[in-house]
Structure 1
């Protein structure tokens, strides 16, 4: 009898693992689970299994070693920017909601007093960031002028200079998908301010997502729900559907981060977490946020959108790889900088080798109407970047702004038309030439790192459910 029971037990266990890992204990009732993420991701050519293996085995380990390097761990952000849409007096529920900016002595010397690095494209890092190199072109010309030679007047009137600046600002504005901050803000060490559960919820948090989904996402007619139902997305054009999937994928990724680093123990009283608070995976919270039973069968589709956003940013990294290979990743520490360049090169080589990148050429390719839609697309995303200043939790605001900045940079790379044939030579007539600021590169790589970790954490939750 015992032998028969053991055989039956082994059979049941093997059957449950072979079929899938369910949300909940009742397998007959809960027939939706992570393993339903099979087949094509949709609007892309590759499968979930392909992305899981590629990310978990190749991308995630490389990103973990890359994002701890000084160039990528320090992010300059303005967390004091006022909300432009409404007055928000919400406060975070726990101590760990707050962000501690870096002290001046903690910031690598090469990141202080940043200058536009493309001015001296072909110079070595040491020459580029020297005091002499930071002189304006006119100052440099005046200093090097030989008095014995005939003087060539190369000065520009202040009126013309202002006009040139306006031209540049206009050209730059056409490329950007995020609102540039008026104040540059302060440096934050991302490793000391990790993204995790903070207790920020309620009306303030709901208003953020409601404003994003209801007022800034393209929506089908007669769609009263905050989230667009999967059945209604099929009637939307690719561009509008992609916009919603990007936002939904970001939302899913953030939720997975909060579930994987959930507050498991806290000091009782006054909603204040003790310094000994512990964070870890919370499977029940993940079930609540993504289970078909609690999401009207939409949870698995939200997870699919995470993969869609992952492929979109992966494509942006591959498209920008020729530019990123030439970036110096300068922080002022020679050995650190060389190691960072080698790590980036290794990472980009793997990114470029992926066979199923997102194909952006199908979007905004229908003439005048397509260009109007592209501008509407861009303005909607700029609004979302401004909404991030309305988040009432500092740490949530930090990671929200960084990840939206990363997506905005990816969209800039994909749809500005200026990376389609990138050339490093600077010419006066090449008006399609443009450069990524350091903050854009940091946001792009860290934002992709967040998506990579979300997919990796999903696999860990699958193992927990086994």
Structure 2
């Protein structure tokens, strides 16, 4: 449980441009407005900056709002690797991702660490006696920091090692986005964003991270290969003539599907990305049990993301988590995908609109992370 002090900077962090556009279900006041901590000048300034930078632009046209209602009729549901939001909930809202880019918002410190600590500690099959390297919430481990952790990790089965690497890769990707789009300065109310080399080195430099940085980046590439593999595996689902990426605009729908199929074709041109058949390959009963445990752990991570106090951070964290969950769902549904009928609705395998949007945006974020990593390599060379 987060203490009230930790939550102060997270309360009422959304600032909307027009009160009339705030959905009724999410209107709320600032319950901590007069607390002692909230009136601390320095903390209040940091809080206000984090709230401002982390706010979501919820502007939508009336045409978009009407289209979303129509889209909902085209989505089916089944077991998922993530906790999907209820689009019919009064508190649900649609946002334009282009108006809400992922970047530094001021959400940091122990509050952010508690979220990631919960993700790692509660869901990565790890005993509490084993501590992750450089974890500020763990007791000091001295010179042994990291050695016992990786000894433990190598002793796990393949599936559990993969799980940890996926979460670590996701964490690394998100950190890269923040380093690449950092708030460099803010004058006259106009923020300036760009790469922060010092922040990048703090999170990924081999010396400053005691060797952890390169491991994190290796896990980022691993995650990229996993999602690339998922895109190539799910191609048959979208290649069917019955699949229509429905928005209500027939011409745009056709163009979107053509572009999507082009992406899938490109993924097939790469060599084998990852052999998921090596996972859950033991006895059927044990494999089924482990797969379900795998799914439930990942689903719980998507719930933990709901605890993120910064709106934009939560938006992108949940989107990328859901994208990875969708990728896993695809990889473990190969037989169902192969049996899909060409001209009739599929019952064995189905993707909701949420999952499709999350899958493509998550892969886009990973691709951007790797591009930004190359940019930082150039900056490092020039700084020497």
**TM-score bracket, shorter-length normalisation:** 0.7 to 0.9
Residue among 195, 207, 211 paired with 1:297:
211
Structure 2 matches for 1:24-423, cutoff 5 A?
A: 93-105=50-62, 107=64, 110-117=67-74, 172-173=78-79, 176-184=80-88, 185-219=92-126, 222-225=129-132, 229-267=149-187, 275-326=189-240, 327-367=243-283, 368-423=285-340
CA distance in 2 between partners of 1:333 and 1:310 (Å): 32
Please state whether the residue corresponding to 1:294 is helix, strand or coil.
coil
Shift of residue 337 of structure 1?
A: 2.3
Question: Distance between the aligned counterparts of 1:275 and 1:187, measured in 2?
Answer: 27
In 1: Cα distance, 2:121 partner to 2:176 partner? 22
User: For residues 297 and 323 of structure 1, do their structure 2 counterparts lie closer, same or farther at Cα, with a shift above 3 Å needed?
Assistant: same
Which residue number corresponds to residue 74 of structure 1? none
Deviation at 1:222, TM superposition (A): 4.3
Shift of 1:356: 2.3
TM-score between both structures, scaled by the size of structure 2: 0.77
Q: Which runs of 5+ in 2 are unaligned?
A: 1-24, 29-36, 39-46, 136-145
SS at match of 1:187: coil
* Secondary structure of 1:446's aligned partner: helix
Equivalent-residue separation in structure 1 for 2:254 and 2:189 (angstroms) = 37
1:403–1:447 Cα contact (<8 Å) kept: yes
- Shift in Å, 1:462: 1.0
Mapped partners of 2:118, 2:251: distance in 1: 46
Q: CA deviation at 1:258?
A: 0.3
Q: 2:349 aligns with which of 423, 434, 438?
A: 434
What do residues 271-304 of structure 1 show as CA deviations (whole Å, max 9, x unaligned)? xxx6410100111110000112222211101100
CA contact (8 A) 1:250 1:309 kept: yes
Report the Cα distance in structure 2 between the residues aligned to 1:417 and 1:345, rounded to whole angstroms. 19
Task: Decide whether the 8 Å contact of 2:103 with 2:181 is kept in 1.
Answer: yes
Whether 2:369 is the aligned partner of 1:454: answer yes
Partner residue of 1:142? Answer: none
Contact 1:196 1:261 in 2 (8 A): yes
Output one character per residue of 1:108-155: Cα deviation in whole Å (capped at 9) or x when no partner: 754333244379xxxxxxxxxxxxxxxxxxxxxxxxxxxxxxxxxxxx
Give 1:70's aligned residue. Answer: none
Separation in structure 1 between the aligned mates of residue 69 and residue 217 of structure 2, nearest angstrom: 39
Superposed displacement of residue 455, structure 1? 0.5
Higher CA-based Rg? 1
CA 1:262 to 1:81, structure 2 compared with 1: closer, same or farther past 3 Å? same
Measure how far apart 1:378 and its partner are: 0.9
Deviation at 1:389, TM superposition (A): 0.7
Using CA pairs below 8 Å that are at least 6 residues apart, which structure has the higher relative contact order? 1
Q: Distance in 2 between matches of 1:195 and 1:316?
A: 23
Tell whether the 8 Å contact from 2:166 to 2:223 is kept in structure 1 after alignment: yes
The alpha-carbon deviation at position 371 of structure 1 amounts to: 1.5
Go from structure 1 to structure 2 and tell me whether the alpha carbon gap of 1:182 and 1:437 turns closer, same or farther (over 3 Å shift).
Answer: closer
Alpha-carbon distance in 1 for matches of 2:232, 2:356:
13
CA distance in 1, matches of 2:130, 2:216: 17
Gaps of 5+ in 1: 1-78, 83-88, 120-168, 268-273
Q: Is the 8 A contact 1:249 1:302 kept in 2?
A: yes
Q: TM-score scaled to structure 1, two decimals?
A: 0.64
Query: Contact 1:320/1:419 (CA < 8 Å) preserved in 2?
Result: no
Distance 1:285 1:363, change over 3 A: same
- Residues 318-363 of structure 1: CA distance to partner in whole angstroms, max 9, x if unpaired? 1100112333222223332232122112111001121122111000
